[in-house]
Structure 1
Amino acid sequence: MVKLFKHLKPYRLSVAAILTFVFLQSLGDLYLPTLMSDIVNKGIVRDNRDYIWRVGGFMLLVAGIGAVCSIAASFLSAKVAAGFGRDTRSRMFNHVENFTLHEFDKLGTASLITRTTNDITQVQTVLTMILRMMIGAPMMMIGGIIMAVYEDAMLSLIFVVVVPLLVGAIAFVGSKGLPLFKAIQIKLDKLNLVLREHLTGMRVIRSFNRSRHENERFSAANGDLTATAIRVNKIMALLMPMMMFIMNFSMLAILYIGSQRIDAGNLNVGSLMAFIQYAMQIMFSLIMVSMMFVLIPRASASAQRINEVMEMQPEIEDPASPAGERAGRLSGYVEFENVTFSYPGAEQPALSDISFSAAPGEVTAIIGGTGSGKSTLLSLIPRFYDAVEGRVKVNGVDVREMTQEELRLKIGYVPQKAVLFSGTVSENIRYGKEDATDEEIRHAAEIAQALDFVSAMKDGFDSEIAQGGGNISGGQKQRLSIARALVRKPEIYLFDDSFSALDFKTDAKLRAALKDETTEATVLIVAQRVSTVMDADRIIVLDEGRIAGMGTHRELLENSDVYREIVSSQLSEEEIA
């Protein structure tokens, strides 16, 4: 947690004010028993009512100042903790935005959500307590012991036995609870994962009648989390009875020994009352510490998980000296030079020795069987991953020598799975170009064959899209995703199997419209359908991560067995001829 708390620097004035208020409150709390002792010894015993009223009034003033300081400290500590939580969430979100797909795969989406929300909340809650107690509890304990010794040194020897017992009980319970708190956060990740899969895959679950199975999965994860939470709470529940047991026996010992010292004339009644108050303050400060020990182990586990994310450096980083634009280069020129790529931990490369070039005005199609590396190849151009061997070049520059922002500004990417965001139709299309005009949005929708169904919607381009595009069909989502890329007017278009949900008629109309729209851009299309790639200037056939053929449709029919096999599985003899 210390690493996280270093980011409290912007709040140092507020933290200093909190510590000052807590210090003043503690001084007041420590002074009150002494005033009460004086009232008893000098006022009540001597029947001096003026003294009682005078000191009593002063006690009220001290108590009032202490209350004001307590309220101010509570307000400021809550404000600082909330601001710290907000800043940590922002820093974590911004850091995660720089992650490559490999880091996302390594941590998992469900875990990242838990770390950004629940874990930061745990640390924020503990920070509030620390700001209130980090000086208050130790000062109350040390000051209480000093004042108790001042009242009666002999009677204070009780604390030599009591304080180590209380500290030992806190340490024992804390050591047992910390591993379980770490386990709780991991099991909370698991619960979030199951819940997320259940909600996002609801249609598949219901279509296969697997609701009972998913309920069992959720119940198992929920039961595991609950069992661990109950276990850790049982351990923590031991703390308070142990503390109260030690405290009550301490009070008995103080009253017994104190009464004997009063009989012997070595202690006043007022002093014994003050001593009991100081003893209670010492015990109470240790209870506050024990309360922190209930929360700190869990917050410590959460802080460790947050730091794990913050310390994880993306594999793909911008170069220290970006290449920038180079004069005389063709706009949108893409080249692969002997590129090999392997996913982390994979036994075989996903791509091996890939070499080809794609120029503006050309359509390069990539086709192959499932798992042949088509989408992986496309992912190397915008640097979602980096090549292990070889070079991927855009405009003659290795993509690793360009900043990610500079590179991706040249690209209009349409993913395999269409992704839309909650908002209006126009906002989703404008996602590709923030300053796009209404006319540009309409034109992009028209080219993407989306204008008809958007116009038929109740509010047209102002119609709301549900989260994930849940209120429109798969084909409509794909067309809006294509419109989002078109409105950008990039140098390079990347279509990753982006026509799979379209019927043949819409597919043909869309490709015809795209041909006129992308005459000055480089187009790379990943497709499963032969009909989608037949008219491409260049077709690359992938087989198990290697190029099994390259050329036009006619050339490949003559030279590539793999391509002929794909074609014969989709087209009739008449269509092939």
Structure 2
Amino acid sequence: MADQSKSAPRRGPMAGGPVGGVVEKPHDLVGTLRRLLGYIGRHKVAVLAGILFAIGSVVFNVVGPKVLGQVTTKLYEGLVAKVQGTGEVDFVWIGRTLAILLGIYLASSLCSLIQGWLMTGVTQKVVYRMRREISEKIARVPLSYFSEHSKGDVLSRITNDVDTLGQSLNQSITQLITSVAQIVGITAMMLSISLPLTGVTLLTLPVSVVVVGIMVHFSQKYFREQQEVLGRVNGIVEEDFAGQGVIQVFDRSDASVEEFERENDRLFTSGWRSQFLSGLMMPLMTLVGNLGYVGVVVVGARLALAGMATPGDIQSFIQYVRNFTQPIQQLANVSNTLQSMSAATERVFEFLAAPEEDDPVAPQLPAAREGRVEFDHVRFGYEATKPIIRDLTFMAEPGQTVAIVGPTGAGKTTLIKLAQRFYDVDAGAIRVDGVDVRDWRRADLRAEFAMVLQDTWLFSGSIRENIRYGRPNATDEEVEAAARAARCDRFIHTLAGGYDFQINEGGTNLSQGQRQLVTIARAVLANRPALILDEATSNVDTRTEELIQRAMDELMRGRTSFVIAHRLSTIKAADVILVLRDGDIVEQGTHEELLVKNGFYAELYNSQFADNE
């Protein structure tokens, strides 16, 4: 028995999103934002420049009210002097100062424009990088991940959640920098005018912090639930679209709509609660700001009467109070945006943190690629406590055709998945050309096999492009030669455009048999040492099956072939037939040898053909 130290770690339960009414607890907001800052940190120069321009915009903006207050004081003093007959209003000084004020505000707007341009570029680069990492991650995640997670939930993570991240990040990062800089700048200007009035204004700050903290605490879990339920809703929609034919045939439309409405109601509830709680921030912050106004007016009036403040100072301070509460309100809105962004970002990071297929650093590859496949006392189960294959041993020699038959659930398709290392064995070993599959790089191992499956997969594009998928650098002549070998050249020429005929999504504008022949042509073009045929003729009629069988015979010539079939008529000519039951080989031999044994294979065969012989 092979060294079991190479066995894969035990697989846990399904890790997909919840399917019932239980919602995961909110993840760490601070931790998620800290990780996101790591992405933003790659653009330090642009971020630093954006911060400097944001500060410049704030500096110019906060100076404006004080200058305007000076104009007000000058105008007031001039009007008083004119009334008293001791002087005139200095309109020249006022006009020159107002021109300077206009320049200050224009400079503030220009700095704000540049800062917005820089930070928008940063956020889009972050989103671009994240989309690229997701695209690369999909290729590294094992196929078992997609069998354990809802397709709709995965799609929601890589589409809706990334979109939410991009939009929220673009809004929040700019607003966050501007608001913080504005609070600091306004505080400094208020201190330069009046310490007592500044103290009155700052009394509203802890009240604002408490309001924001309470709202964030109660609304965060609903933002998280909203993103998760959205993933389930997408999963339902995706399944309903894919299975619409079955739904109609079995008259399950009402049940499908009911299931959708149930989850959609949960989405409505979580969305309503999160938006309602976050929407309370603005009126509450406005109330706090109005309290600050009242305090400034009362204290400012007393200071003015005592001669400790000028009318211009009071006017400037009232403007500063309004400008002081505004960034606090904006920070409250940013906190809402950050919650939504955090919930989406957590889900994206969860996908990026999913386990990946591991490969040996220095793979040991065989000197010759012959297609010899050996199963040596293999044991495997999708769940560690429920083995599907208990102790399986056999050898497929180069060029040999091995048929695998048995009842549903016997482990036929599982053998193929193990040979290509979609899963690792729990015990024993599988060797290809004498080398343990765990010592191969997965890409090299899978390049040894061509595959034709029961469920044909064709993408939107021409027939030529779909066949060339088996070997992207193949010439047009090689593509057409593969099509002739697969017996599909004739029907291709009957289509409009021939090899340039455009296949629609799912290949529904071709018949089932035509789609199967195109996939066989793809496998012929790949020209690999080993071949896997998994129920390749189970969905076609007898005449088409005969045509496909001749194409497969051509394809299998000179290759190690594994044929999984329920129709036993298609594997009579196999060099060896493995009969599986409950994960074990109960019989093996040629078709004639197994019939003579009159065992389980003969029972399966006679159950299909006894009435015809």
Shorter chain as normaliser: what TM range?
over 0.9
Question: Distance between the aligned counterparts of 1:135 and 1:81, measured in 2?
Answer: 14
Equivalent residues of 1:364, 1:540 under 8 A apart: yes
Which position in structure 2 is the counterpart of 1:2? 34
Question: Distance between the aligned counterparts of 1:464 and 1:574, measured in 2?
Answer: 42
2:492 pairs with 422, 440, 454, which one?
454
Which position in structure 2 is the counterpart of 1:355? 393
Which amino acid in 1 is paired with 2:527?
Answer: K
Question: Distance between the aligned counterparts of 2:281 and 2:554, measured in 1?
Answer: 75
- Output one character per residue of 1:520-545: Cα deviation in whole Å (capped at 9) or x when no partner: 21111111101011110010111111
Which amino acid in 2 is paired with 1:16?
Answer: L
Equivalent residues of 1:540, 1:547 under 8 A apart: yes
2:422 pairs with 384, 391, 395, which one?
384
Equivalent residues of 1:166, 1:243 under 8 A apart: yes
Equivalent residues of 2:486, 2:555 under 8 A apart: no
- Output one character per residue of 1:186-240: Cα deviation in whole Å (capped at 9) or x when no partner: 1001100110010000111111111111111111111110111111111112111
The residue correspondences of 1:472-551 to structure 2 (distance < 5 A) are 472-551=510-589
Equivalent residues of 1:494, 1:525 under 8 A apart: yes
Equivalent residues of 1:43, 1:51 under 8 A apart: no
Offset at residue 143 of structure 1 (A): 2.1
Which amino acid in 1 is paired with 2:388?
Answer: A
The residue correspondences of 1:109-258 to structure 2 (distance < 5 A) are 109-258=151-300
Q: Describe the shift of the 1:64–1:183 C-alpha distance in structure 2 as closer, same or farther (beyond 3 A).
A: same
- Output one character per residue of 1:54-87: Cα deviation in whole Å (capped at 9) or x when no partner: 2111111111111111112222222221221121
Unpaired stretches in structure 2, ≥5 consecutive residues: 1-32, 79-88
Which position in structure 1 is the counterpart of 2:82? none
The residue correspondences of 1:73-88 to structure 2 (distance < 5 A) are 73-88=115-130
Which position in structure 1 is the counterpart of 2:26? none
- Output one character per residue of 1:335-365: Cα deviation in whole Å (capped at 9) or x when no partner: 111111111x364212221111112221111
Offset at residue 31 of structure 1 (A): 0.9
Which position in structure 2 is the counterpart of 1:413? 451
Which position in structure 2 is the counterpart of 1:320? 361
Q: Helix, strand or coil for the counterpart of 1:567?
A: helix
Question: Distance between the aligned counterparts of 1:195 and 1:426, measured in 2?
Answer: 32
Equivalent residues of 2:220, 2:339 under 8 A apart: yes
Which amino acid in 1 is paired with 2:47?
Answer: V
Which amino acid in 1 is paired with 2:200?
Answer: I
Equivalent residues of 1:4, 1:307 under 8 A apart: no
Question: Distance between the aligned counterparts of 2:46 and 2:547, measured in 1?
Answer: 64
Unpaired stretches in structure 1, ≥5 consecutive residues: none
Q: Helix, strand or coil for the counterpart of 1:187?
A: helix
Runs of 4+ in structure 1 displaced over 4 angstroms? Answer: none
Offset at residue 415 of structure 1 (A): 2.4
Question: Distance between the aligned counterparts of 2:429 and 2:447, measured in 1?
Answer: 20
Question: Distance between the aligned counterparts of 2:51 and 2:431, measured in 1?
Answer: 58
Offset at residue 513 of structure 1 (A): 4.0
Which position in structure 1 is the counterpart of 2:19? none
Which position in structure 2 is the counterpart of 1:41? 73
Offset at residue 517 of structure 1 (A): 4.1
Which position in structure 2 is the counterpart of 1:397? 435
Question: Distance between the aligned counterparts of 1:81 and 1:560, measured in 2?
Answer: 70
Which amino acid in 2 is paired with 1:436?
Answer: A
Which position in structure 2 is the counterpart of 1:336? 375
> Which shifted more, 498-507 or 249-258?
498-507
- Output one character per residue of 1:144-172: Cα deviation in whole Å (capped at 9) or x when no partner: 12211221111222134211111111111
> Which shifted more, 250-259 or 484-493?
250-259
Equivalent residues of 1:448, 1:479 under 8 A apart: yes
Equivalent residues of 2:286, 2:329 under 8 A apart: no
Question: Distance between the aligned counterparts of 1:20 and 1:126, measured in 2?
Answer: 22
Question: Distance between the aligned counterparts of 1:501 and 1:107, measured in 2?
Answer: 27
Which position in structure 2 is the counterpart of 1:552? 590
Question: Distance between the aligned counterparts of 2:337 and 2:232, measured in 1?
Answer: 22
1:96 pairs with 97, 118, 138, which one?
138
Equivalent residues of 2:479, 2:525 under 8 A apart: yes
Question: Distance between the aligned counterparts of 1:359 and 1:159, measured in 2?
Answer: 86
Question: Distance between the aligned counterparts of 2:535 and 2:548, measured in 1?
Answer: 14
Which position in structure 1 is the counterpart of 2:324? 282
Question: Distance between the aligned counterparts of 1:164 and 1:336, measured in 2?
Answer: 70
Aligned pairs, how many?
Answer: 571
Equivalent residues of 2:224, 2:340 under 8 A apart: yes
Question: Distance between the aligned counterparts of 1:437 and 1:169, measured in 2?
Answer: 68
2:64 pairs with 9, 32, 49, which one?
32
Equivalent residues of 1:478, 1:501 under 8 A apart: no
Equivalent residues of 1:40, 1:270 under 8 A apart: yes
Q: Helix, strand or coil for the counterpart of 1:418?
A: coil
Question: Distance between the aligned counterparts of 1:253 and 1:319, measured in 2?
Answer: 70
Per the normalisation by structure 1, the TM-score is 0.95
Equivalent residues of 2:281, 2:333 under 8 A apart: no
Equivalent residues of 1:475, 1:502 under 8 A apart: yes
Question: Distance between the aligned counterparts of 1:441 and 1:4, measured in 2?
Answer: 46
Offset at residue 97 of structure 1 (A): 1.4
How large is the Cα RMSD of the aligned pairs? 1.7
Q: Describe the shift of the 1:304–1:565 C-alpha distance in structure 2 as closer, same or farther (beyond 3 A).
A: same
Which amino acid in 2 is paired with 1:520?
Answer: G
Which amino acid in 2 is paired with 1:73?
Answer: Q
Q: Describe the shift of the 1:446–1:538 C-alpha distance in structure 2 as closer, same or farther (beyond 3 A).
A: same
Question: Distance between the aligned counterparts of 2:586 and 2:485, measured in 1?
Answer: 33
Offset at residue 443 of structure 1 (A): 2.3
- Output one character per residue of 1:533-558: Cα deviation in whole Å (capped at 9) or x when no partner: 11100101111111111110111112
- Output one character per residue of 1:34-71: Cα deviation in whole Å (capped at 9) or x when no partner: 11122122355232222211211111111111111111
Question: Distance between the aligned counterparts of 2:173 and 2:118, measured in 1?
Answer: 9
Q: Helix, strand or coil for the counterpart of 2:159?
A: helix
> Which shifted more, 233-242 or 346-355?
346-355
Equivalent residues of 2:54, 2:181 under 8 A apart: no
Equivalent residues of 1:177, 1:236 under 8 A apart: yes
Equivalent residues of 1:549, 1:560 under 8 A apart: no
Please state if 1:572 is matched with 2:604.
no
Q: Describe the shift of the 1:250–1:453 C-alpha distance in structure 2 as closer, same or farther (beyond 3 A).
A: same
Question: Distance between the aligned counterparts of 1:542 and 1:112, measured in 2?
Answer: 35
